[in-house]
Structure 1
Amino acid sequence: MSHIGKPPCDTGVILSGTQATPCLKASQRWTLLAAIIGSSLAFIDGTVVNVALPSIQLALNATTADAQWVMESYALFLAALLLVGGALGDRFGRRRVFMIGVALFTLASAGCALSASVNQLIATRAMQGIGAALLVPGSLALISAAYPQAGRGAAIGTWSACSGIMAAIGPVIGGFLVEHYAWTWAFLVNVPVGGVLLVLCAMKVPESMGAASRQPVDVMGAMLVTAGLAGVVFALIEAPARGWTAAPVLIAAGTGVAALALFVRAEARGRAPMLPLALFRQRNFAGANLLTLLLYAALGGALFFLPLNLIQVQGYGATAAGAALLPFIAIMFVLSRWAGSLVDVFGSKLPLVAGPSVAALGFALFALPTLDAGYWTTFFPAICVLGLGMSITVAPLTATVMNAVGPELAGTASGVNNAVARAAGLLAIATFGIVLTTAFNARLASELAHLQLRPELLSPVLAQRQKLAGIVIPHNASAAAAATLQHAIGTSFVAGFRWVMLLSAGLALLSAICAALLIEGKDPRERKARV
């Protein structure tokens, strides 16, 4: 659930795509269906796996850091290779690269389901991320290539509606499979869908290439940003367990920072950079991306830990946890058209200040629930307020990014903003883990110090601290002792969870301040003329 629904600027990527060549109506319909199925594979996987994490952690005896890597290995390659994936499609054929992505994603899904250890699962999740990096931009590019400019609006509406529906029901279906069968079904469900999609593409979807198909692909940039993000994420995730002065942590952090510095240098000098730094000279573009970085860090980090709270602490089943965020998705779906009209009336600045501010209130409300909190009086209001805030934000954010540059660079600008949103979630999950772990350990030590329990019961619990709320109570504990220990563990997790949500609220407020300072306002005379 680190990314609920579609990240910002997905629609912008489609709108700014290469002009379509003549394409039969039947081929357009098949292409749209293939794009919907492909996008749904990636969207659903990002949400279903988060619901399955508690079951994975228990079945594979994984720590919280391991659970973070299950999500991060996928998100790392998707965020780092997303831009180069689109360039590969333009150069070598959009259908071809899309099908390679689908095939790799499908095979990796089977590998995830067959994983006998958490390390195998992390490795196959990384393969899934590489497949998704080819699949996600390819699904958008297929629509762009198949439909002329005049016909893309209806195609976008259909794609958005279907993607929204799949984003809503995906976690519920995944939660049901996890709860009633096994966590492996969260991955196995992708295999037949991917197989059908490959056959559909081979038989019905036409091939297309970009106008600049001979333009070189920024392989060096992709390698450097992948190494940089991997090093930084490794240091952030492993530091709580290994210590900040541990050699692997220091080496990873140093390598990551150096690689990111080299990436910036390479992009500034490259002939065809995946990240054109000149775009950031535009004030609105720079402001929109800074807002995206802060707000989607808050969203990605907070929603990673929410299912762990619901399942491991509040006692929800996987199905109920998957359904818990349905109001969020429903609000964004219903209000998306209205939010888009706000830009025409008020310009982008006001919605981009108001939206993150409302989202900040939603995050703050998540800090209120305690143990055994009722959904309708605690989590539901927070989810609705957060959904309202994000609904106000996403459409104006996309419009700001698209309008900050010329039409010839709109696709690149949209892709950059989309990648920034994914990278923000990637870094936030690792960083928020430090905050939650620190608060959890401090509170757990305090809770256990006041319990009159035998050392043979306390020692196994302390030895499992890295699992956080996934700690398994010793089998020799009496019912009363087990209940006492479970209460201490739950209370400790909630204490850390509150810090995470308050940090998310702070980041959301910072993003609103960035919009107020950096996004240009609408000319009052122009607004009056429109009214």
Structure 2
Amino acid sequence: MPSTTMDHSSQPAHSPPQAVIERGRRSSPWLTLLAVAFGLFMVQLDASVVAIANPEIGRALEASTADLQWVTNAYLLALAASLILGGKLGDRFGRRTYYMVGVVGFTLASVAIGLSGSIDGVIVFRAAQGFFGGLLMPNTLGLLRAVFPPRKFGMAVGIWAMVSAVSTALGPIVGGLLVENVSWESVFYVNAPIGVIAILVSAAVLPQSKNSSASHRFDVPGVILLALGLLCMVFGVVKGETWGWTSAGTLGVVAVGVLILVGFGWYETRVEHPLLPMRLFRIRALTVGTIVTALNFFVMLGVIFFVMLYLQNVRGFSPVEAGVRTLPLSLASLVASPLGAALTGRFGSRLSMPLGMVLQAVATFSMLTWDTGSSYATMWPPFIALGLGVGTVLSASSDAVVGQAPVKEGGVAGGLQATALQIGGALGTSVLVSLISSRVGATLVGELTDAGVPPAVAGGLADAKDAVAMGIAPVSGSMSDQLKSAVAEGSSQAFMNGMHTAAAVTGVLCLLGAVMATLGLRGTSRPMQG
């Protein structure tokens, strides 16, 4: 479809973008926001909905635990490797074009997963999903940066953050309903109608936006170095729990990734037209926002992961029941994102970003009071605090990263933020699961013995720590009812020990993030209001 190209290459970072004319009429920035919201919703929903489907995928396709890990890891690796590339391609050749390519590819890959019929097919098409998600995600923010004037960009980002947070939090509910009442394949098929709507709306309303002056050669060596570095980093992170965080394999792969990324940074300072301009990191708000973005999703995805284990495996709720109980988190995110955007617009990120991190610290420290029989009255307040904190930080960090970057590099900045988000999420689940597993291993035998399990039997169950770290009690049909009860009680308590350790560490990280944001954003200017 015909579209008018916007040239922002000569605009300063905070000048209002030029008007977009398409088919003889002025394009609405709010329609642009509506269009990108569909693609964003689809990708973020899929990121959390798969966790609910994994057990059923394993049963239906006779997949091993390692196979199921790759269902998640293949997506994360492909996504991490392609996010900044996707933003750069959008900046160079057209953000509308690459956003729509991402939507089409993600939708087709989703359908292909449901039709694959084998675990290998699921893994391959999950990687394809990740790649197309990498084209889609950064250009959502790049398009918003191009069409919204500075005085309204914060509110647009707030709504963007709301869609992101709510779709992620709704994943367990939607996934539980589909898996219980339809099939695991439907978890992926649901992307088809969302994708079709996104394509139709985008074709009708999205303006073309790109760096029309960027006629220079594309930075192919930079693409290769960045992709290899991120692949090694994320691979080391996702395998850290399996290999051990201090093992030679984990440390070696992560070290190689770090060295490649250092080499990438060195190379980017020596080319005329870099893939990721290192000068962006001279913007203090952008650098702090990138780090806090990673920490924000470390907390959100990591906490949601162990909370769902607690609700389903320790408390015995079904996926739908567990999802419904986390609704306060979704509703709080719904309120927090526009509220955080309003606070950021009025006072700047230096207030809203630390505030959001403190709210998350309050939420995670409150979880230290939970036990194996806690009432729901002790659960919903932390969920609300977590949702408020995540939504507020997401709005503030998006404004700090994308809002502070020059308009012509909005896609690259969006890719940078999305990369930080995904790496933070991968670290959150991997690191916190590792902490839980380590604590469970240290306390399992003692807790089983205290619960009344004979010492010899308790010692024999020590090897079941991996199952207990997932909240699953290692009972068998040959055990007496009394012994089953004791094993379940001791296992649940050992899991709670691990969960409390993970919650405490997360709370401390949130406080450190608040201090970093407070000190790092001191003296930064407020966003322009006019």
Same fold (TM over 0.5): yes
Distance across 1 between alignment mates of 2:347 and 2:375: 38
Tell me how large the CA RMSD over aligned residues is. 4.2
SS at match of 2:292: helix
Distance across 1 between alignment mates of 2:492 and 2:307: 13
Matching residue of 2:253? 252
Aligned pair 1:43/2:36, yes or no? no
SS at match of 1:269: coil
Distance across 1 between alignment mates of 2:52 and 2:473: 18
Matching residue of 2:133? 132
Matching residue of 2:87? 86
How big is the shift at 1:85? 0.6
State the AA in 1 paired with 2:445.
A
Distance across 1 between alignment mates of 2:170 and 2:495: 28
Distance across 1 between alignment mates of 2:15 and 2:424: 24
Distance across 2 between alignment mates of 1:446 and 1:153: 52
Matching residue of 2:507? 505
- CA 1:507–1:485 in structure 2 vs 1: closer, same or farther (change >3 Å)? same
Paired residues of 1:461 and 1:471 also in contact (CA < 8 A)? no
Compare 171-180 and 28-37 and name the one that shifted more: 28-37
State the AA in 1 paired with 2:488.
Q
Distance across 2 between alignment mates of 1:313 and 1:43: 27
State the AA in 2 paired with 1:232.
M
Distance across 2 between alignment mates of 1:420 and 1:169: 22
Equivalences for 1:206-225 in 2 at 5 Å? 209-225=210-226
Matching residue of 2:443? 443
- CA 1:14–1:20 in structure 2 vs 1: closer, same or farther (change >3 Å)? farther
Matching residue of 1:340? 341
State the AA in 2 paired with 1:257.
V
Unaligned runs of 5+ in 1: 1-12
Matching residue of 2:372? 371
Paired residues of 2:81 and 2:226 also in contact (CA < 8 A)? yes
* Identity rate, percent: 31
- CA 1:74–1:340 in structure 2 vs 1: closer, same or farther (change >3 Å)? same
- CA 1:99–1:360 in structure 2 vs 1: closer, same or farther (change >3 Å)? same
How big is the shift at 1:132? 0.7
How big is the shift at 1:65? 6.5
SS at match of 1:469: coil
Equivalences for 1:223-234 in 2 at 5 Å? 223-234=224-235
Q: For residues 324-372 of structure 1, give each alpha carbon's deviation from its aligned partner in whole angstroms, at most 9, with x where no partner exists.
A: 3322232232244443343455443233333312221111112321113
- CA 1:169–1:499 in structure 2 vs 1: closer, same or farther (change >3 Å)? closer
Matching residue of 1:395? 395
Distance across 2 between alignment mates of 1:116 and 1:509: 46
Q: Give TM-score scaled by structure 1 length.
A: 0.80
Compare 483-492 and 29-38 and name the one that shifted more: 29-38
Distance across 2 between alignment mates of 1:368 and 1:296: 23
SS at match of 1:214: coil
Aligned pair 1:261/2:276, yes or no? no
Matching residue of 1:431? 431
Paired residues of 2:340 and 2:396 also in contact (CA < 8 A)? yes
Distance across 2 between alignment mates of 1:425 and 1:294: 8
Q: For residues 22-58 of structure 1, give each alpha carbon's deviation from its aligned partner in whole angstroms, at most 9, with x where no partner exists.
A: 3456986986654332222112112222333454466
SS at match of 2:20: coil
SS at match of 1:332: helix
State the AA in 1 paired with 2:494.
S
- CA 1:512–1:106 in structure 2 vs 1: closer, same or farther (change >3 Å)? same
Aligned pair 1:331/2:310, yes or no? no
Total equivalences in the alignment:
513
Aligned pair 1:294/2:295, yes or no? yes
Unaligned runs of 5+ in 2: 1-12
State the AA in 2 paired with 1:297.
F
Distance across 1 between alignment mates of 2:495 and 2:59: 17
Distance across 1 between alignment mates of 2:48 and 2:174: 11
Q: For residues 450-487 of structure 1, give each alpha carbon's deviation from its aligned partner in whole angstroms, at most 9, with x where no partner exists.
A: 62388699569638648733566434444443333333
Paired residues of 2:286 and 2:401 also in contact (CA < 8 A)? yes
SS at match of 1:468: coil
State the AA in 1 paired with 2:191.
N
Equivalences for 1:399-478 in 2 at 5 Å? 399-401=399-401, 404=404, 409=409, 412-448=412-448, 451-452=453-454, 458=460, 462=464, 465=467, 468-470=470-472, 473-478=475-480
Q: For residues 269-321 of structure 1, give each alpha carbon's deviation from its aligned partner in whole angstroms, at most 9, with x where no partner exists.
A: 23333332222223333333333333332333222322222222222211122
How big is the shift at 1:380? 0.7
State the AA in 2 paired with 1:230.
L
Paired residues of 2:281 and 2:287 also in contact (CA < 8 A)? yes
- CA 1:299–1:270 in structure 2 vs 1: closer, same or farther (change >3 Å)? farther
Distance across 2 between alignment mates of 1:399 and 1:206: 22
Compare 211-220 and 162-171 and name the one that shifted more: 162-171
- CA 1:290–1:436 in structure 2 vs 1: closer, same or farther (change >3 Å)? same
Q: For residues 84-127 of structure 1, give each alpha carbon's deviation from its aligned partner in whole angstroms, at most 9, with x where no partner exists.
A: 11222344444443343223322322343356665654433222
